[in-house]
Structures are given as structure tokens and as C-alpha cells.
């Protein structure tokens, strides 16, 4: 057992995982108290009257192929949210341990810590510095209680992608002390590639990926933790059996077929092109103060009158995300990139 396990909660290390009903789909299932008939209108391949595979191995293998790693380095789950919850519960003791975040960033890191009873250490990204990652500030704020350092790159809601060398340097400095959890939910839309190829040489690095964004499966709820097999094995003790529904498993496997992947990448390219068009169009509007550079599928925009912009877009039939509650984002709204027609209509409403 290495420090990757020793860092986790001792009760999780000692936990005996739930023993689910055996999985032999070729046999008649009279061992799991299921109904032997399908529900009306059940069009699934396997039948929704049966429990799905407890830990879907075929799905893990397909995700491993997609992300270019071994299947034992992958744990599928219900989006990045479940991955964040699993890591926080596995590594943070209530009332004792902490996570470190770099706000403004994705809110679930702090929420998961609060649910677990872990404290939150904040190292703010500085607006005047373009919200870039400051590894020295993160290391200066690190305490023995911090077990997880959460980074989102490209960052939500600022849209910027952190410097690759800075992230890897930080992972090396955290080795033996904490895990660096890199949330790459938006990396398909970025200019720089994922850091997945660095996992084997940086054991402190854990990467979160999701099919919600680039692959159009937000409603299916599927993502993955990618990490050293020792971390994956530990998280398998914590994740609920049958976490992924049969409908989700089947939808993901279809989406990962070669012809579907081609369509997904074409749409990613279209979003990137539309992002640049929207940024240029927004910059010409008299009410726009600043359009922040983005490597994601959204734009963070400062408006002279954000309330008016919200009202005009709402009247035109659009919902935008109000970010003004964060002190570093006064007057800021977050705009997702839509279809070309939607983007043109939004710009017209804001003109």
C-alpha cells in the first residue's frame, strides 16, 4: 500500500465493499429478486426489469479506449459530480480534513466538502492577473489537513485553461501530501490537450472527465475518474453498486461508436468556431465592458448593466447565468455557446 491509500480515511481503507449479486448475464437470473417480465414500453437492449452491471466493465473499457489509458485506471460514474463526492468522502474525515479550491470555480467542490463535514481552504484566482493559476500561493496555503486540491481547467466560470507546466509542477510538489484533482470537463473545447498522458508519471494527479459537454450526454449522467489503480480500487469501495442505469450504459456505448465520435468532434469544432464569433460580436456591443478569453464552450462577459442584459435576453427567450454574486465577477454573466441561429438571436437581443 502506497501513500495514495494511506492518505485516505482509515475506515475506508478497512471497509469491506458491498457484495452485490453475481453478474453472469448468460444465465437465468433467479438470485436478485427481480421481476421476470419487462415493464410496458421497455425498449432497452438488456431489459430494465434486470439490475444493470454493478460496475460496468465494458463501459470502463470503452472509456479507457476513448481516453487512452488502461481499464484499471478508469472508474465510470454519474458525471463529475459523483466523482467529486466519491473523492471527498474517501479522503476527507468529517471535522478534521480539508479540500483546497481556487475560486471563482465550480461550486460542487465546496458543496461536497460541506456535505462531508470537511473544511474548505480558498486560494482565489486573481482577476487582475487574468485568473491564472498561482502554484506558489496554493503551496503556501497547504496544511496537513488538506487532502484534495481541486482545479478546474478550463475553469468554470472564467473559461481559461491553466498552464500545463504549472499544473504538473504542482502535482509533483503535492506528491505524498495530497491529491491534485484536475477537472477537465471542458478540455475538448480547449487549445491544449488533456493531461491524461501524464497520469502514469504523476501519481498525485487525478483527472475527472465527463460525457455531459462535448458528447451531448448531460441527461445521461456519465463521467469518469481517471487515476492510479490504487485510487480507483479505493473509490470502488465507496461508489454505490448499480450507480449507472442500463439506459445510460447503452446510450454511452452507442455514443462511443466510431461514427458517433466523428459527429461529436464535428460539433466541438463548430462550438469553437461559434465561440470566437460570439466573442467578437459581443465585444462590439456598447454595453459590453469585457469578454474574457475562453477555452470552454461558454464565455464570461462583463456588462455595464448586467441586469438589463439579463432582462433583454430573457425577454428574447434565453437563460444566461448570473455570476455577480462572486466578488471577483461584478457585472459578469456566463453565456453558453449555442447553435449559430441561437447565437445570432442572442446577440441581436443584447444589441
Task: Tell me the domain boundaries of the chain.
Answer: 3-256, 260-350
pLDDT recorded at residue 162: 97
Q: Are 334 and 300 in contact (CB under 8 A)?
A: yes
User: Binning pLDDT at 50, 70 and 90, where does residue 267 land?
Assistant: very high
Q: Which pLDDT score is estimated for 29? A: 87
Question: How far apart are alpha carbons 69 and 230 in whole angstroms?
Answer: 15
The counts of H helices and E strands in the chain are 12, 11
Q: Would you call 204 helix, strand, or coil by DSSP? A: coil
Rounded to two decimals, the pTM is 0.95
Which grid coordinates are listed for 5? 491509500
pLDDT at 137: 97
Phi first, then psi: give them for residue 321, nearest 5 degrees: -95, 120
Q: Judge whether 253 and 59 are in contact, CB under 8 Å.
A: yes
Biggest CA–CA distance in the chain, Å, is 68
What's the average model confidence in pLDDT over 316-329? 96
**What digits encode the pLDDT tens for the residues 175-233?**
999 999 999 999 999 978 999 999 999 999 999 999 999 999 999 999 999 999 999 99
Q: State the DSSP H helix or E strand holding residue 265, giving kind and residue range, or none if neither.
A: helix 258-283
Q: Cβ(133)–Cβ(162) under 8 Å?
A: yes
Helices within 15-102 (DSSP H only): 57-67, 79-91
Residue 284 near residue 313 (C-beta atoms within 8 A): no
Dist CA 197 CA 44 (whole Å): 35
For residue 170, is pLDDT > 80? yes
**Mean local confidence (pLDDT), 89-112:** 97
Residue 199 DSSP code: T
For 130: left if phi > 0, alpha if psi spans -120 to 50, otherwise beta; the answer is: left
Q: What is the mean pLDDT of the chain?
A: 95
* pLDDT tens track for 268-283: 999 999 999 999 999 9
Please tell me the distance from the alpha carbon of residue 97 to that of residue 143, in angstroms, as a whole number.
10
More confidently predicted of 313 and 21? 313
Phi first, then psi: give them for residue 322, nearest 5 degrees: -85, 115
Q: Is 111 helix (H, G, I), strand (E, B) or coil?
A: helix
User: Dihedral of CA 85/86/92/93: which sign?
Assistant: positive
Q: Which CATH architecture has domain 3-256?
A: 3-Layer(aba) Sandwich (3.40)
Per-residue cell: 142? 497547504
171 pLDDT tier (thresholds 50, 70, 90): very high
CATH number assigned to the domain with residue range 260-350, chosen from the 4 options 3.50.50.60, 3.40.50.300, 3.90.1150.10, 2.40.30.10: 3.90.1150.10
Amino acid at each position: 500500500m502506497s501513500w495514495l491509500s494511506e492518505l485516505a480515511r482509515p475506515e475506508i481503507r478497512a471497509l469491506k465493499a458491498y457484495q452485490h449479486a453475481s453478474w453472469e448475464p448468460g444465465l437465468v437470473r433467479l438470485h436478485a429478486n427481480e421481476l421476470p417480465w419487462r415493464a410496458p414500453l421497455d425498449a432497452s437492449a438488456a431489459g430494465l426489469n434486470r439490475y444493470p452491471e454493478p460496475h460496468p466493465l465494458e463501459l470502463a473499457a470503452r472509456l479507457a479506449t476513448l481516453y487512452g489509458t488502461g481499464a484499471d485506471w478508469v472508474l465510470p460514474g454519474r458525471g463529475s459530480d459523483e466523482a467529486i463526492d466519491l473523492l471527498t468522502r474517501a479522503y476527507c474525515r468529517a471535522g478534521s480534513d480539508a479540500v483546497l479550491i481556487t475560486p471563482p470555480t465550480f461550486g460542487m467542490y465546496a458543496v461536497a466538502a460541506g456535505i462531508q463535514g470537511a473544511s474548505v481552504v480558498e486560494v482565489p484566482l486573481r482577476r487582475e492577473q487574468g485568473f491564472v493559476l498561482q502554484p506558489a500561493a496554493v503551496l503556501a496555503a497547504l496544511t496537513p489537513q488538506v487532502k484534495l486540491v481541486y482545479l478546474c481547467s478550463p475553469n468554470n466560470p472564467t473559461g481559461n485553461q491553466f498552464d500545463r507546466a504549472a499544473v504538473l509542477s504542482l502535482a509533483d510538489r503535492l506528491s505524498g501530501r495530497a491529491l491534485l484533482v484536475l477537472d477537465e470537463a471542458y478540455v475538448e473545447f480547449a487549445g491544449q490537450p488533456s493531461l491524461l498522458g501524464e497520469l502514469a508519471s504523476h501519481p498525485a494527479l487525478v483527472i475527472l472527465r465527463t460525457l455531459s459537454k462535448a458528447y451531448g450526454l448531460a441527461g445521461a449522467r456519465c463521467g469518469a475518474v481517471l487515476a492510479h489503480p490504487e485510487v480507483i480500487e479505493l473509490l470502488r469501495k465507496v461508489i454505490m453498486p448499480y450507480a449507472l442505469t442500463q439506459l445510460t450504459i447503452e446510450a454511452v456505448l452507442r455514443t462511443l461508436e466510431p461514427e458517433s465520435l466523428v459527429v461529436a468532434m464535428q460539433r466541438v469544432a463548430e462550438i469553437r468556431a461559434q465561440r470566437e464569433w460570439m466573442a467578437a460580436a459581443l465585444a462590439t456591443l456598447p454595453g459590453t465592458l469585457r469578454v474574457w478569453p475562453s477555452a470552454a464552450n461558454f464565455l464570461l462577459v462583463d456588462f455595464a448593466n448586467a441586469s438589463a442584459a439579463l432582462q433583454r435576453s430573457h425577454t428574447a427567450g434565453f437563460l444566461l447565468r448570473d455570476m455577480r454574486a462572486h466578488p471577483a465577477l461584478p457585472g459578469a454573466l456566463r453565456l453558453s455557446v449555442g447553435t449559430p441561429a441561437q447565437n445570432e438571436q442572442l446577440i441581436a437581443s443584447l444589441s
